[in-house]
Chains A and B, each alone.
Chain A
């Protein structure tokens, strides 16, 4: 069976939930993995978005960085992404910065060489995603522990664009790697008053 080249999750209209925090769409990776995940046609009726994830990569290492773009796929030429992070790796606290890249690093997952059943997890908040008067701010918390290795991250990201976010593209930093089976992403919308 050929591997799935990508999973596209169209928005599910909010018929499954009520209130200020609503589920928009969910993706769980099946056998064979997938190279990318995309949320499209994101409703513009919320104030903020939250993306909750659990990922293991097929990248041949114990870690793999995960990337995100808005409204355009990786390597489409879009730039204007910036991110900072504060990292604890179990022995040292450190910080990093990426400026004017073509993607945001939103998380570090486990990789193919990690122990079985180990996944990285994270939560991404995209604030005022539909506002066309603001650049887009992203707040991220992620990490993985592998009982002897691992890291915890606090991150902030910027997409220097006032465009409303209508789609989110997610993939491995190493474009040849896939999201492994059982990886999952769940997109939620948060309504303001």
Chain B
């Protein structure tokens, strides 16, 4: 019988790396879920960013909600070249978990919306909704920390597919 919640690919970093990519994503699922447990290899908290299908144009935007332990805040970035999923833990702390969900990724009719949650106990609880203004089916995802920072060794990145009836 077909599997409904299926692991498509997983990567564990053996050394610091600037990017992680999932390519040739099967178009046989309904939704995608990316689960990240990682941190930056240097410095403090940094944004965890994503691009789809190699699109480096200003076709991304996102709205975020943060709680830092003393206050809640919200902000937005528009017309930018990448999409933030959550903050990535800094090098001196434990890795944090980021879960990003992309519903209906393979249709060629709607723009693609991602909902992500970041859980960094040392820093912030976050939820972010991001838009990629493209009707193309998502066939690849590129992940990278902001500002040229690298993912630290040991980070894990897993892509799942969910298949509706």
- Complex-state Cα separation, A53 to B110, whole angstroms: 13
- Counting CB contacts under 8 A, is A188 at the interface? yes
- Complex-state Cα separation, A56 to B127, whole angstroms: 21
| A54→B110 contact, CB < 8 A | yes
Binds A, one of B16-24, B44-52, B67-75: B67-75
| B165→A152 contact, CB < 8 A | no
A143-B103 contact in complex given A17-B2, A23-B4, C-beta closer than 8 Å: no
Interface size class of B (residues with CB under 8 A): 35 or more
- Counting CB contacts under 8 A, is A70 at the interface? no
- Complex-state Cα separation, A91 to B130, whole angstroms: 15
Q: CB-CB contacts of B59-80 with A at 8 A, as 1s and 0s? A: 0011111110001111110110
Nearest residue, chain A, Cβ from B65: A88
- Complex-state Cα separation, A90 to B103, whole angstroms: 22
| A147→B79 contact, CB < 8 A | yes
| B103→A54 contact, CB < 8 A | yes
- Counting CB contacts under 8 A, is B101 at the interface? yes
Task: Please name all residues of chain A whose beta carbon is closer than 8 Å to the beta carbon of B2 when the two chains form the complex.
Answer: 16-18
- Counting CB contacts under 8 A, is B31 at the interface? yes
Give residues of chain A (171-193) contacting chain B, Cβ–Cβ below 8 Å.
182, 184, 186, 188
- Counting CB contacts under 8 A, is B42 at the interface? no
| B74→A145 contact, CB < 8 A | no
CB distance from A119 to the nearest CB of B (A): 5
| A182→B4 contact, CB < 8 A | no
Give residues of chain B (3-52) contacting chain A, Cβ–Cβ below 8 Å.
3-5, 30-31
| B104→A154 contact, CB < 8 A | no
CB distance from A26 to the nearest CB of B (A): 4
Give residues of chain A (119-162) contacting chain B, Cβ–Cβ below 8 Å.
119-123, 141-148, 150-154
- Complex-state Cα separation, A111 to B18, whole angstroms: 39
For chain A, the count of residues having a C-beta within 8 Å of the partner chain is: 49
Task: Please name all residues of chain B whose beta carbon is closer than 8 Å to the beta carbon of A113 when the two chains form the complex.
Answer: none
Interface of A is mostly: strand
- Counting CB contacts under 8 A, is A7 at the interface? no
Nearest residue, chain B, Cβ from A188: B4
A145-B3 contact in complex given A54-B103, A54-B110, C-beta closer than 8 Å: no
| A52→B76 contact, CB < 8 A | no
- Counting CB contacts under 8 A, is B122 at the interface? no
| A93→B65 contact, CB < 8 A | yes
- Counting CB contacts under 8 A, is A164 at the interface? no
| B165→A146 contact, CB < 8 A | no
Give residues of chain B (70-120) contacting chain A, Cβ–Cβ below 8 Å.
71-76, 78-79, 101, 103-104, 107, 109-111, 113, 115, 117
Which residues of B are interface residues toward A (Cβ below 8 A)? 1-5, 30-31, 61-67, 71-76, 78-79, 101, 103-104, 107, 109-111, 113, 115, 117, 127-131, 133, 135, 162-165
